[in-house]
Structure 1
Amino acid sequence: MKLKALKIILIILFLLSSTAAFLFSPYYELKNITVEESAVNITDTLGACGVVAGSNINLLLLSKGNILSGHLVKAEEQVLTDVNIKNLSIKRSGRNDLTVSCQSRKPVMCISHDDYIIYFDYDGTIIDTTPTKAEKAILIRGLDLDFFYMGRNILTCNYMLEDISVLCNEIEKYDTVNFTAIRTLINEIEIRENDGIIIKYDNRLEILMDMTDDVKYNANVLCAILSTMNQSSKGTVDFTVSDTPFFSPASE
C-alpha cells in the first residue's frame, strides 16, 4: 500500500517537473517584440515589467497575467497608468512573438478652471493642464467644474458634453475623409440653456444648434455648409429655427 502511494507521488512529481521544464525551457524564450509606431513611447514601461526579448513568455504570463488567457495583465495595467494611453493591445503572435499597439489621447477640447486650462479628449478623459490655451483646442464655455485630476472623466459634469464630444469627433472624421480643416477652425463652443450651444467658427461665424436633434447628422450638414460657404462670410448659421439651417449675414 505504501509502495503504491509512493509510486503515485513519484509519478506526480515527475509530471510536474516535466511540465515545468517544458513550460520554462529556452524553447519559449520571447524572440521578437513588434512595437507599432503609435506605441514606441511605452517600450520602457514594458521593459520595466520584464517584457523584453529573451524573457520566457510563459513565465511572463504566469507572473504578470494569466497563462490561460494569454494576456499580460500586469504589464497592461502598468502601461495604462499613463492617462495619455488608450486602446492598448499586447497580443501573442505565433509561439514566441508579441505585437504591441496603442493610441495616444489628443487634447482636442479644453475648459478654463481657476488659473488653469484643462484639456481632455473625445471620451472626456482629462490629460493635461497649461496656464494658457493651445491654439487648436476647442474651448468649452458654460461648464462649472468643482475639482479635477488627471484621468478624471469630465463628461459626467454636464449631460451635454457627451453630445458636444460626438459633434466634434464627427466633424474631425469629415475632415479626414474630405481633406478639410473645419474642426481646427472652431474657436469655442458655448453651452446655453434649453439644450442649445453656440459654435464660434473662424472668428467670423456663430452657429446655433439644438443638441436634442441628431448630432451626427447635423455635424455632417454643418460641414457640408461650411465647405461651400465663402470663406469671408460673416454672420449666423441657425439650426434651431427650422429643419433647414438658416444663414443670416452680419450687418455691416
Structure 2
Amino acid sequence: MSDVSWISDLDKIAVDIDLETHPVHNDPQAEIIIISNDYVKFRASRYHLVRTSQLFEDLLDTARTVDINLNDIEEPIHLNFPSSTISLFLDLAGVCDPYFADVPITKARSLLDFVEYTMCDRLIDIARSTLMHAAKDEPFELLVIASERDDLDLAKHALRNISTSAFEDEYKEGRSFRVGTVYNIDSIKKYLLRLTPSYHLAILHSIMYLGEMQSIDHDGLWLNSRPAILSTDNWSSIADTFNPAQFWKA
C-alpha cells in the first residue's frame, strides 16, 4: 500500500468505520481532510500544508487543476502513517519557528520518515534532531534505525554515544571474574542480526583487532601471553572510520 492516496480502497473501508476526530486538529474552517492509518480524521490548513510540504503542494495543486472545489467536496487524503505522527507534523507545520519535540524514539523515527516522504525540507533537520534527542539513552536502537535507513550520519552519532559503561550495562554477564570483562555473546549476536548485513560486517570489522591474550594462574600471577583476536568494548571509538559501504555487494 502506498503512503498516500486520494481515492482508493481505503476510502471505501472508511465508510464502514467510525472515524475518530482528532481533538485538536479539527477546525471546521480548515479545508483539507486527512485520515491516518489508524482511522483518525484531521482537518488541516491548506496554506500550512502547501507552505511546508512539496508533496502536499503537488497534490493540492493537481486537485485544483481537475476542478475539485476543496471547500465543498471533502475528498480525504489517506496517509499510511499513525495519527500520533500526523498530529506532531501538523503541530510543527502550523508554527513559524518549528521546534524539536521530546517524544519516544519510535515516534521520532516515524516523524522523520513522514517529513522525508512528504518532502518537508524545512522540517527535516528538526525531525533529525528530534530523533537524536529521543535516542540519547538508546544509542543501540538508533544504530538499528540508521542501519535500516542506511544513514551514516545517524550511525556515527549513535556510535559516539555508545560508551564503555553503556556497552557493559547492555551486554555484560551478570557474574564477576578476576580478570577482564565477560559479555553475553548470544545477546550481542542477536543485536548484530538486527542490523543490515553491511552494518553488521562493518561493526565486526571495526571492533576486532590483533592483540595479545595473557594467561594468569589461580593466584593471579602472569604466566605468558600469546597472539589473539580481541575486540574493543568502546564503540564510540570506531565512529570516525565506520564505513559500511565497503561491504556493499558490487
Scaled by the length of structure 2, the TM-score of the pair is 0.27
Structure 1 or 2: more strand by fraction: 1
Higher RCO, 1 vs 2 (CA within 8 Å, ≥6 residues apart): 2
Based on CA coordinates, which of the two structures has the bigger radius of gyration? 1
